[in-house]
A and B are shown apart, each in its own frame.
Chain A
Amino acid sequence: MKFLVVDDSGVMRRIHSNILKEHNIDESEIFEAENGEKALEIARKEDIGMFLVDWNMPKLDGLKFVEYIRAMESYKDVPVIMITSEAARYNVVDAIKAGVTNYIVKPIKGDTLWEKISRYLV
């Protein structure tokens, strides 16, 4: 199963990718993108099984990215976990409307993040 980690912070991408690797996800199954545009390019090429997506990013933000992939037949039902600092209730509502599967507010401990991810593993 392929994962796409989308975050404009290189440090955060590495932290989230490392959590996947620590749980025996092979490095070759983990893709990274620094904004929604790059993430869309990867999503079109690869058969991604789960997205971990930040909200605030340059070029194409996480919310718009989710709207784009939800309009694609192949990603209609794929789990999308939004991992963002945006903690306001109205942000959560907007993200759910855009089609995110689960919403996580940063900062999040590795164990808690993995617990959320593992719910959607097939």
Chain B
Amino acid sequence: MKAKYVNPFITAAMNLFHDYLGLNVTSGKPYILQDPSSLNEVSGIIGLAGETAGAVVLSFTRETAIKIISKLAGRTYQALSRDVIDGVGELINIIAGNAKKDLLDFRIVISLPGVIAGADYEIHWPEQIPVISIPFSSDLGDFSLNVSLKDAD
């Protein structure tokens, strides 16, 4: 998977978390995710289709998800409520949709977001395409963005 396919997702995430939500956030070095179970408890997922195939997953601890969605919604949530789940879906939707404008090799259709929460789940990533994980640190907690996208032919 080419680096140029990962960078638009990092840019979109920084735009959302730093520029829009005003978080003090930094992105770490991307790496190949060897163990899919290393994702956190709350993950927002979007499938990528059209002239490519793939998926993008935004993964938080429960606490970080609650804090970040509280910031997004302008109200304080104490638990992993329906609103927090909804908000995590919206965050990954914004990242995937925004990244499309810099992914110029293909026309991409994004799926509706799904959110899974729990200690033990497995994501079935597209086969034979590596998953690149980008770690983020923020003042509301760490999280990761995980991208798997088939190269253009």
Contact = CB atoms under 8 A, between A and B. Distances in A.
Report if A and B associate in a common complex. yes
Interface stretch (B24-32, B68-76, B136-144): B68-76
Interface string A69-110: 000000000000000111111110000000000000111010
B97 A10 contact: no
| Secondary structure type dominating chain B contacts | helix
Contacts of A57: 112
A14 B100 contact: no
Q: How large is the interface on B (under 10, 10 to 19, 20 to 34, 35 or more residues)?
A: 20 to 34
Contact of A11 (B20, B87, B96, B98): B87
Interface residues of A, number: 23
A1 interface: no
Contacts of A84: 97
Contacts of A9: 86-87, 89-90, 93
A25 to B, nearest CB: 18
B73 A87 contact: no
B86 A11 contact: yes
B83 interface: yes
Contacts, number: 62
B16 interface: yes
B112 A11 contact: no
Contact of B73 (A11, A56, A105, A107): A11
A91 B133 CA distance: 27
For B21, B69, B74, the residue with the greatest tally of chain A CB atoms inside 10 Å of its CB is B74
A10 B98 contact: no
B101 interface: yes
Contacts of B107: 88, 90
B82 interface: yes
B20 A10 contact: no
A10 B83 CA distance: 7
Contact of B108 (A8, A58, A88): A88
B73 A14 contact: yes
A87 B97 contact: yes
Interface of B: 15-16, 20-21, 69, 72-74, 82-83, 86-87, 89-90, 93-101, 103, 107-108, 110, 112
5 smallest CB-CB distances across A and B, nearest first, come from: A85-B97, A87-B101, A107-B20, A88-B100, A85-B94
